[in-house]
Amino acid sequence: MTGYKRPVSVLAVIHTKDLRILLLERALFPGYWQSVTGSLEENESPFEAARREVFEETGIAAPARDFRDWRITNVFGIHMLWRHRYAPDVEYNTEHVYSLEAARESSVRLAPGEHSDYCWLPWEEAVDKCFSWSNRDAIQLIAREVMMKKERNP
């Protein structure tokens, strides 16, 4: 192990059936709101990382069947705020997108030192609050899918 983070991560959007989205505020960067994110550990699959990160960052222990793998990967330049966490020659990260439908809004157990606050918002407000384009895109995709399902099965 090098001590550097792997440039492979997950984004896990937690939402209710009525499209309220859970967002977390980064502790070291107030005003930076996001869904659950995290880098893969050594020998860990993206799916395993998504489940682990959801539990570590929220305390939600959901069964594997409740997660959806969107089979979407985003590649983006690592923000300068976080570049020091990666090997010096690493500039890009590959992110795998997952979602988890929660039965209802609930309180969460925040990871100490990682997040300072959380909120459940209607999806449109969550899109506006997220600092990450990939997080905004994922929320919009999930909202479209849920609304299409409702139209097909009223």
Neighbouring C-beta atoms of residue 100, cutoff 10 Å: 20
Q: Establish how many alpha carbons lie within 13 A of residue 20's alpha carbon, considering only the half-sphere containing its beta carbon.
A: 11
The pLDDT tens digits for 5-37 are 999 999 999 999 999 999 999 999 999 999 999
What residues does each domain of the chain span? 8-152
Average pLDDT, the chain: 95
Q: What is the pLDDT of residues 78-106, one digit of tens each?
A: 988 889 999 999 999 999 999 999 989 99
Rounded to the nearest angstrom, the gap between the alpha carbon of residue 11 and the centroid of all alpha carbons in its chain is 3
* pLDDT category of residue 131 using cuts at 50, 70 and 90: very high
Does CATH number 3.20.20.410 belong to domain 8-152?
Answer: no
Query: Could you tell me where the DSSP H helices lie in the chain?
Result: 46-58, 123-129, 133-152
